[in-house]
Amino acid sequence: MFNYSLQIMVLAVAVSLTAPPVAAQKVKEPKALNADWSKPYKPFRIAGNLFYVGTYDLACYLITTTKGNILINTGLAASNAQIQSNIETLGFRFADTRILLNTQAHYDHMGAMFAIKKKTGAQLMVDEKDAVVMENGGSSDYALGGHGSTFKSVTPDRLLHDGDTIQLGNMQLVMLHHPGHTKGSCSFLFTVSDEQHSYKVLIANMPTIVTEKSFADIISYPEIAGDYAKTLKEMKNIRFDIWLASHASQFKLNDKHQPGDAYNPAAFIDPAGYDAAISNLQKEYDEKLLH
């Protein structure tokens, strides 16, 4: 009896030594319904040291500085190679990516974050309110969560708060906390320059509503209605020259630019388009409150 249990014990110790300490994360990216999300798109210079390196609809932005580059958003998991080749096509080194930013922790902007962080060694800086959902691969998201991880978990290197500055070389970006779409959705405001002009740029996370539920029923995010209201109010008062967004369709990239077009930052000066988009979202929000 003693020998038998000792044998079991020895076996158990041996198994625990060889077994991996933590079960590998299972990631199940939802099947993308929109083919535009993965369709390749020719990278181009938007304005000064700001470049478009995303897919046809999932916008990714590269900001070059005197000390390496900043990449905002990463598309779906499979877009990893496309983003790298877009950066290299423009003549930049992927390995020079120093800082990774994200406008919202949904899989369509986070899919390739883990892979890109690993390959470049860049520092990931995120809105503190999205930190938890980034670490569990989206499984705790109040709207898209509950089905396990939809993107590979990443651990942020720095947590950002409303109004914080991200500094790299000669560039400074201000993070604007714009919650609602996710708890830590955010936008970025910064100035880029070319030989003639400077442009104040807003990369806006548009506060679209993703949940079918009534706000009152979202118990894991009791502040949701107030967060959307505050975000909409703040977004109406931002001053900028150029606005862009997390999805190309949100700022009508394809009306403003055709692949191969000459450099033309003026194409992205569209305050009326921004105001119209925000006022549509305000209407959606107001209607949502009635249900």
Q: Between β-strands 158-160 and 165-168, what pairing exists: parallel, antiparallel or unpaired?
A: unpaired
* Residue among 224, 248, 225, 232 nearest 61 (CA): 248
Instruction: By CB under 5 A, tell whether 178 contacts Zn ion.
Output: no
Under rule CB under 5 A, how many of the chain's residues touch Zn ion?
1
Kindly tell me which of 36 and 194 has the beta carbon lying closer to Zn ion. 36
Per-residue burial over 168-200, b if 16 or more Cβ lie within 10 Å, else e, is beebebebbbbbbbbbbbbbbbbbbeeeeeebe
Q: Which stretch binds Zn ion (CB under 5 A): 55-63, 100-108, 129-137, 227-235?
A: 100-108
Q: Which stretch binds Zn ion (CB under 5 A): 57-65, 75-83, 98-106, 254-262?
A: 98-106
Question: For 62-116, what is the HEC assignment?
Answer: EEEEECEEEEECCCCHHHHHHHHHHHHHCCCCHHHEEEEECCCCCHHHHCCHHHH
Question: In the bound complex, which residue of the shown chain has the CB atom lying closest to Zn ion?
Answer: 106
Reported residue count of the chain is 291
Kindly tell me which of 43 and 111 has the beta carbon lying closer to Zn ion. 111
Cα 265 from chain centre: 23
Q: Which stretch binds Zn ion (CB under 5 A): 85-93, 104-112, 116-124, 125-133?
A: 104-112
Structure tokens at 256: 């403003």
Kindly tell me which of 106 and 177 has the beta carbon lying closer to Zn ion. 106
Q: Which stretch binds Zn ion (CB under 5 A): 12-20, 102-110, 133-141, 223-231?
A: 102-110
Q: Output the smallest distance, CB 76 to Zn ion, in A.
A: 12
CA pair distance 227, 231, nearest whole angstrom:
6
Q: Output the smallest distance, CB 150 to Zn ion, in A.
A: 11
Inter-residue contact 55 to 75 (CB < 8 Å): yes
Q: Which stretch binds Zn ion (CB under 5 A): 28-36, 42-50, 57-65, 105-113?
A: 105-113
Q: Output the smallest distance, CB 205 to Zn ion, in A.
A: 8
Structure tokens at 95: 């390995």
Kindly tell me which of 94 and 142 has the beta carbon lying closer to Zn ion. 142
Report helix, strand or coil for 181. Answer: coil
Name which position in 47, 53, 106, 184 contacts Zn ion (CB under 5 A).
Answer: 106
Kindly tell me which of 171 and 281 has the beta carbon lying closer to Zn ion. 281
Binding region for Zn ion (CB under 5 A): 106
